[in-house]
C-alpha cells in the first residue's frame, strides 16, 4: 500500500481506536506530526516512508493524563497497540518492528533512545508540537484540564521563586518548553524548534507587557 491510501487508512483507524476527550493528542495532532515528520525527513535528505507514516499516526494511540501514574509507559503501550493495526494494514514484520521502536522512543518521559532515522525524526516532529503558537495553546489546554491556574498572580515569571510547572501553566515554559530545542536530534528539527521557541518568547514578552512586568529571562 502506498503512502496516500495508507494515510487514509491510518486516519480512519486512529479515529476509531484513540480515546476521546484529549484535545492535545487528537487526530489533528497526528496530522500535524506527520506534516512535521515529512518536512524534517525531506530536510535531512530522506524520503518519508511507510514506517515513518505509521509511527506518526499511531504514536499516541494510548494517551494518559500528564499526572497519571503510568504516564511514562504510554509510548510503550501505544507501540504495543499499534502492532495489530499495522499488521491489519499489510505492513511487514520488519516495518512493524521499526515503527514500534520509533513510537517507543518518541516519548519525553519514556527513557528509550531512538536508534533509527525514523525514530529520531518522529521524536523531533512530536516535540515541535510543544513549541510555537501551537505549543502555547496546548500548554494552556493541558494545564486547564488539570485545573492549574494560568500563572502565579504574585510572581508570574518566577522572579523570586523556583519555577514549578505543577503549580501553574506559565512555569512550564521555564521548566521544560524553552529547553526543548537543545534536545532535538536532527539539524532540520533543531532549526524549526529554534524558530518556534522565538515565537514563544515573543508571546511571553507580550504577556509581560500586559501584566506590567519585565519580560522573563527564560
The residue ranges of every structural domain in the chain are: 3-118, 132-211
pLDDT bin (cut points 50, 70, 90) of residue 16 is: confident
Averaged pLDDT of the chain: 92
Tell me how far the alpha carbon of residue 78 is from its chain's centroid. Answer: 14
Would you say residue 196 has pLDDT above 80? Answer: yes
Would you say residue 185 has pLDDT above 70? Answer: yes
Q: What is the pLDDT of residue 184?
A: 98
Q: What is the pLDDT of residue 55?
A: 98
**Do 103 and 58 touch, CB atoms closer than 8 A?**
yes
Domain 132-211 has CATH 1.20.58.1910: yes
* Across 106-121, average pLDDT: 88
17-65 pLDDT tens trace: 755 557 778 999 999 999 999 999 999 999 999 999 999 999 998 877 6
* Across 147-172, average pLDDT: 94
Element (H, E) at 70: none
Q: What is the pLDDT of residue 68?
A: 64
SS3 185: coil
pTM of the model: 0.91
**Do 10 and 88 touch, CB atoms closer than 8 A?**
no
In Å, what is the CA distance from 214 to each residue of 121, 136, 201? 37, 19, 13
CA terminus-to-terminus distance, the chain: 46
Amino acid at each position: 500500500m502506498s503512502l496516500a491510501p495508507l494515510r487514509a487508512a491510518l486516519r480512519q483507524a486512529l479515529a476509531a481506536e484513540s480515546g476521546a476527550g484529549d484535545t492535545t493528542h487528537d487526530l489533528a495532532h497526528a496530522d500535524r506530526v506527520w506534516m512535521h515528520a515529512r518536512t524534517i525527513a525531506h530536510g535531512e535528505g530522506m524520503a518519508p516512508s511507510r514506517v515513518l507514516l505509521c509511527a506518526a499516526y499511531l504514536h499516541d494511540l494510548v494517551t494518559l493524563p500528564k499526572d497519571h501514574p503510568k504516564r511514562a509507559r504510554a509510548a510503550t503501550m501505544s507501540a504495543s497497540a499499534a502492532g495489530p493495526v499495522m499488521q491489519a494494514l499489510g505492513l511487514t514484520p520488519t516495518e512493524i518492528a521499526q515503527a514500534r521502536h520509533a513510537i517507543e522512543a518518541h516519548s519525553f518521559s519514556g527513557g528509550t533512545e531512538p536508534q533509527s532515522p525514523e525514530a529520531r525524526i518522529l521524536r523531533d516532529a512530536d516535540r515541535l508540537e510543544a513549541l510555537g503558537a501551537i505549543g502555547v495553546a496546548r500548554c494552556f489546554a493541558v494545564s486547564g484540564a488539570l485545573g492549574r491556574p494560568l500563572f502565579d498572580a504574585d510572581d508570574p515569571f518566577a522572579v523570586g521563586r523556583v519555577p514549578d510547572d505543577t503549580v501553574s501553566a506559565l512555569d512550564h515554559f521555564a521548566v521544560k518548553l524553552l529547553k526543548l530545542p537543545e534536545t532535538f536530534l536532527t539539524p532540520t528539527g533543531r532549526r524549526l524548534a529554534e524558530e518556534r521557541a522565538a515565537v514563544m518568547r515573543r508571546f511571553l514578552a507580550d504577556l509581560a507587557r500586559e501584566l506590567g512586568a519585565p519580560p522573563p529571562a527564560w
